[in-house]
Amino acid sequence: MLQEIEKIIVNRQQQPKHQNDALGILLEAKDEEGNSLTLEELKDQILLLLFAGHETLTSAISSFSLLMAQHPEILEKVRKEQENLNITEDITSENLKEMPYLEQVLKEVLRLIPPVGGGFRKVIQEFEFEGYRIPKDWTVQYQIAQTHQESDTFPNYQTFDPERFSPENMVDKQKRFGYVPFGGGLRECLGKEFARLEMKIFASLLVRKCHWELLPDQNLEMINIPSPRPSDGLKVKIF
C-alpha cells in the first residue's frame, strides 16, 4: 500500500497545479520556515487519514444500524426516500444530493453518538470560563459528546430526533461550534468530507439492500474507547 501511496504522491508533486483535496492541501502545506512536508511525512499523513477514518467510520455505521433498529419509524422514512430515487446502478453524486432526510439522520447519529470523544487545543490567550482562569499556553481538551448535550442548542438532547437538522431548524448552524462531530476551526478533521461521503453511500446501500433487527439478550451499553460501540458488539439478524 505504501508503494502505491508513494506513486500517487510523486505523480501529484509533478503536476503544475495541486487539486483541492486532502492530498492537495498537504502538498501545499508549509511550516513557519517555509518547508514543505517530506515524501515520508506525506506518506505517513495519507496512511493516517485512511486508517483513522476506518475505525471512526465503523463506529458511526454501527451507531446508525443500532439507532435505525431502535427507531423503525425513522428507518421507514429513510427507506421510502431511497425507494423514490429508483437507483438501479452505482450511486452518483447527483443521487447523493437527493437524500436530504438521510443526511438529517446521519447528522443526528453523529450528534448523539459521536465516533470521536474530543480533541485538544493550545490556549493562545488567557481567558476566564465560568469563574475559572485558563492561562495562556495551557493545553485544554474539549468533549464532543458533552458539547452535543447543550440543552439550549439541543432540547431533549438524549432523544434521537433527525428533525433537528431539517431545513426549518438546522440546529447545526445556529451556534458556532455547537455541533462539532469532526472538531472545529482550522484543526477540523481533514477527512471530514471523505467520512461523510463514505457514511452516506454505505447507509444508502444498507437501507436499500438489507432489512435487519437486533438480536435479543445482548448488552447494548456503549463502550467509548477507542470509539463508541455496544458492549457485546452489535448482533443483528439480516434478512
pLDDT tens column, 100-140: 999 999 999 999 999 988 989 999 999 998 899 999 999 99
| Strand, coil or helix: 21 | coil
Q: Enumerate residue ranges in the chain where pLDDT < 70.
A: 51, 53
Cβ-defined contacts of 45-51 (< 8 Å, 24+): 46/5, 46/9, 46/22, 47/1, 47/2, 47/5, 49/22, 49/190, 49/191, 49/194
Q: Which amino acid is at 229?
A: R
Phi, psi (5° rounding) for residue 52?
-65, -30
pLDDT reported for residue 147: 94
pLDDT reported for residue 19: 80
* E strand or H helix at 222: strand 222-223
User: Residue 133: beta bridge partners?
Assistant: 128
Q: Which amino acid is at 203?
A: A
CATH 3.40.190.10 holds for 2-11+36-238: no
Among 109, 114, 115, 99, smallest CA distance to 69 is for: 109
210 assigned binding-site residue: no
Among 85, 108, 107, smallest CA distance to 96 is for: 85
Q: Which three cell numbers stand for residue 72?
A: 423503525
* E strand or H helix at 187: none
Q: Which three cell numbers stand for residue 129?
A: 470560563
pLDDT reported for residue 51: 67
Q: Please tell me the distance from the alpha carbon of residue 227 to that of residue 54, in angstroms, as a whole number.
A: 11
> What's the whole-model pTM score?
0.77
